[in-house]
């Protein structure tokens, strides 16, 4: 049995003060919840304050990106060493990073290795865009991104990675994918590829989230699908009540 995991991707939202308030409210709203992992991913500037606010809570902390080098002349970048000082998780290869900041499959692979080497759990994002979806390339694109991200990872390393399947056309659009379609794509194009790269046991052990316009009223339909192990939530994670409702809907 895979433990479900729901992560909040706050993207470029929340000042330190706002992040602390939201964290406090999320913490309160999830006090009696069990049987699930929850990760908050604030912007870098708020990581330290959110960590302090979470002190003693079961809720975990993640960054939204990082460089793969430990240190050096990379102005504006944050290293795995620095992220690992504060966080347990790191989101890698989000489609917005691929689209606006030139992230490549190769870079995502380097970052995935660096995260694992520093004891971080990477949440590796994959997903096709609208054009690729319409051209019937979903399986090839998603499978290719998975193959690239896992290149050179041992079975033990691979088993620690979390994958977020996020169709680009569903992110921030209010148009989620069909739960049954997501289930099929994860089964065939993600677990199928992982079984080829490793073995069936490893493919079944790796947790795969869905992301893209997840809301309190659609989460249960995703959570009921056997291949979906939780969600990566953007917009609906910016309010404590909607995020808490999504976490709870994952458990029904």
d(CA 83, CA 104): 21
| Closest distance of CB 11 from ligand PGA, Å | 7
Q: Which stretch binds ligand PGA (CB under 6 A): 128-136, 147-155, 200-208, 230-238?
A: 230-238
Residue choice 5, 9, 98, 163 for contact with ligand PGA (CB under 6 A): 9
Active-site position among 67, 94, 96, 103: 94
Sign of the four-CA dihedral 16, 17, 20, 23: negative
Asked if 118 is an active-site residue, the reply is no
Smallest distance from ligand PGA to CB 94, Å: 6
Rank residues 150 and 210 by Cβ distance to ligand PGA and give the closer one.
210
* Cα–Cα nearest to 77, from 107, 53, 52: 107
Contact set for ligand PGA, span 153-212 (CB under 6 A) = 166, 171-172, 211-212
Cβ distance to ligand PGA smaller for residue 125 or 194: 125
Given 96, 128, 166, 227, the catalytic residue = 166
Catalytic residue flag (residue 166): yes
Contact positions toward ligand PGA, by CB under 6 A?
Answer: 9, 166, 171-172, 211-214, 232-236
């Amino acid at each position: 049995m895979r433990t479900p995991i729901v992560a909040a991707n706050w993207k470029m939202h929340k000042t330190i003060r706002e992040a602390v308030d939201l964290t406090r409210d999320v913490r309160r709203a999830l006090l009696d919840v069990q049987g699930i992992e929850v990760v908050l991913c604030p912007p870098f500037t708020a990581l330290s304050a959110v960590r302090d606010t979470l002190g003693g809570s079961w809720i975990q902390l993640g960054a939204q990106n990082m460089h793969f080098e430990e240190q050096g002349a990379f102005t504006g970048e944050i290293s795995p060493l620095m992220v690992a000082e504060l966080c347990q998780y790191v989101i890698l290869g989000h489609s917005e990073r691929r689209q606006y900041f030139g992230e490549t499959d190769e870079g995502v692979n380097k970052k995935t290795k660096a995260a694992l080497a520093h004891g971080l759990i990477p949440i590796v994002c994959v997903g096709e865009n609208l054009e690729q979806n319409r051209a019937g390339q979903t399986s090839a694109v998603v499978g290719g991104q998975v193959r690239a991200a896992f290149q050179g990872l041992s079975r033990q390393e691979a088993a620690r990675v979390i994958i977020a399947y996020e169709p680009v056309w569903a992110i921030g659009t209010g148009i989620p994918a069909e739960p049954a379609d997501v289930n099929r794509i994860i089964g065939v194009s993600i677990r199928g590829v992982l079984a080829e790269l490793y073995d069936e046991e490893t493919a079944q052990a790796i947790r795969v989230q869905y992301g893209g316009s997840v809301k309190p009223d659609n989460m249960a339909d995703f959570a009921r699908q056997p291949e979906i192990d939780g969600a990566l939530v953007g917009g609906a994670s910016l309010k404590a009540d909607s995020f808490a409702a999504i976490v709870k809907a994952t458990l029904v």
